[in-house]
Amino acid sequence: MDIAIVCYSLTGHTLDMAGEIAKGIREAGADSRIFNIRTTEADREYLESASGLIIGSPTYLAASVWQIRKWLEEDSLKINLSGKLGGAFATAHYAQGGQDTAIMDMLGQLLVKGMLIYSGGGSYGLPIIHHGPVALDKEGNHYEDSRAIFRIYGSRFASKALEIFG
Ligand SMILES: Cc1cc2nc3c(=O)[nH]c(=O)nc-3n(C[C@H](O)[C@H](O)[C@H](O)COP(=O)(O)O)c2cc1C
């Protein structure tokens, strides 16, 4: 069971949190590869065979970055993502920085591709992960404290993928 994580990361936060998600995925018994599209092309074969895809973006101007939108609009077009489990996460500076808008923007695009969307939510109790996990790099200890939630998200996501796709 493979779950791909495709993200864009310039200063490393989004990639860092992708790593935490991947740890959680492995804890749940699945495997994961991370593609930071700023430096690495996402492996088409891996994505085709993966059961899930998680997209990650920094929040820029209260939205996901254009590079992720381009990847979803153009670069991923030859990959059949329909029926796969999909999720999204974001990093941002501020609590009111628009990270929710960024996540919903990405989730909407995954829906259009016919993916099954999953946030982890409160399905296994606390923490409730609303639309997807978020880490804030300028709000107290939020960034470091978020690591555990990203791992839990990865674990929940992989558990759901294993439940659906076995
Ligand atoms: C051009 C630009 C726009 C940004 N806009 C926002 C924003 O609207 N809201 C916010 O909370 N943070 C904003 N940030 C902060 C980034 O979202 C945050 O530092 C993020 O963790 C960077 O991710 P990265 O380290 O993976 O590149 C912005 C940063 C840049 C460079």
Q: What is the pLDDT of residues 56-99, one digit of tens each?
A: 999 999 999 999 999 999 999 999 999 999 999 999 999 999 99
Tokens 């088409």, located at residue: 44
- For the chain, what's the residue count? 166
Is 67 near ligand 1, meaning CB less than 6 Å away? no
Q: How many domains does the chain have?
A: 1
What is the band of 123 on the pLDDT scale with cuts at 50, 70, 90?
A: confident
CATH number of the domain residue 63 falls in = 3.40.50.360
Instruction: Check pLDDT > 90 for residue 122.
Output: no
Mean pLDDT of 143-163: 97
Domain of 38 in residue numbering reads as: 2-165
- Helix 13-27 to helix 142-165 angle, to the nearest 10 degrees? 40
Count H helices and E strands in the chain, helices first. Answer: 5, 7
Nearest alpha carbon, ligand 1 atom 2: 60
Residue of 38, 55, 60 with the most ligand 1 atoms within 8 Å of its CB, for mutation: 60
Nearest alpha carbon, ligand 1 atom 23: 58
pTM higher than 0.75: yes
143 CA to middle of ligand 1, Å?
13
